[in-house]
Chains A and B, each alone.
Chain A
Amino acid sequence: MIADQLPALQIVIPMLAAPLCVLVRRSFVCWCISVIANLLVLWVAWSIFKQVQSDGVIRYALGGWAAPTGIEYYVDSMNSIMLLLVSFISCVVLVYAYQSVIKSVQTGKHYLFYAAWMLCLTGLLGISITGDAFNVFVFLEISSLSMYMLIAFGSDRRALSASFRYLIMGSIGASFILIGIGFLYAATGALNMVDLASRIPDAQSQRAVLVAFSFLTIGLMIKSAVFPLHGWLANAYQHAPIVVTAFLAGTATKVSLYVLLRFFFSIFGTNYSFGSMLLNVVLLPAAVAGFVLMSLVAIFQSDLRRMLAYSSVAQIGYIIAAFCLASQAGLTAGIVHIINHGIIKTALFMSVGCIIYRVGHAHSDSLDNLFKKMPFTVTAFIISGFGLIGVPLTVGFISKFSLISASMERGWWMIGVLVLLSSLFAIVYVGRVIEIMLFRQSRTDNPQPAGMHEAPLLMLIPMYLLIAVSLWFGISGSTTLAVAADAAAALLGGYR
Chain B
Amino acid sequence: MAVLGLYNYWAVIVLMMAGLYILIARYNLIKKMIGLGVFQTSIFYLYISMGKVQGGSAPILDDAVPLYSNPLVHVLILTAIVVGVATTAVGLALIVRIYEEYGTIEEDEIKAIESQEHDL
Contacts and interface: CB of A to CB of B under 8 A. Distances in A.
Interface string B18-30: 0010010000010
Interface in B87-110: 87, 90-91, 94-95, 97-98, 101-102, 110
A175 B98 contact: no
B98 A167 contact: no
B62 interface: no
Interface residues of A, number: 29
Contacts of B110: 161
Contacts of A167: 87, 90-91, 94
Contacts of B120: 361, 363, 366, 447
Interface in A361-415: 361, 363, 366
Nearest to A141: B83
B43 A175 contact: yes
Contact of B50 (A138, A185, A366): A185
Interface stretch (A144-152, A290-298, A457-465): A144-152
A181 B72 CA distance: 13
B63 interface: no
Contacts of B90: 145, 148-149, 167
B92 to A, nearest CB: 10
Interface in A168-184: 168, 171-172, 175, 178-179, 182
Main secondary structure of the interface of B (DSSP, over half): helix
Interface in B46-73: 46-47, 50, 73
Interface residues of B, number: 31
Contacts of B46: 179, 182
A193 B6 CA distance: 29
Interface string A227-254: 0000000000000000000000000000
A163 interface: yes
A152 B117 CA distance: 18
B87 A145 contact: yes
A134 B76 CA distance: 8
A207 interface: no
A137 B95 CA distance: 25
Contacts of A137: 80, 83
B11 interface: no
B87 A141 contact: yes
Given A178-B43, A179-B46, A182-B43, A171 B76 contact: no
A307 to B, nearest CB: 13
A163 B43 contact: no
A495 interface: no
A274 interface: no
B114 A161 contact: yes
Contact of A168 (B23, B76, B86, B98): B23
A175 B39 contact: yes
A422 to B, nearest CB: 26
B36 A152 contact: no
A217 to B, nearest CB: 17
Contacts of B119: 303, 361, 363
A233 to B, nearest CB: 17
A148 B94 contact: yes
A469 interface: no
Contacts of A175: 39-40, 43
B75 to A, nearest CB: 9
A141 B110 CA distance: 27
Interface in A160-207: 160-161, 163-164, 167-168, 171-172, 175, 178-179, 182, 185-186
Contacts of B76: 134
A164 B95 contact: yes
Contact of A145 (B20, B29, B86, B101): B86
A420 B90 CA distance: 42
Nearest to B89: A145
A161 B50 contact: no
Given A182-B43, A363-B120, A138 B114 contact: no
Contact of A172 (B23, B47, B91): B23
9 contacts: A137-B80, A141-B83, A152-B97, A157-B101, A157-B102, A168-B36, A175-B40, A185-B50, A363-B120
Given A152-B94, A171-B91, 16 more contacts: A137-B83, A141-B87, A149-B90, A157-B101, A160-B94, A160-B97, A161-B102, A164-B29, A164-B94, A168-B91, A171-B40, A172-B39, A179-B43, A182-B50, A361-B119, A363-B120
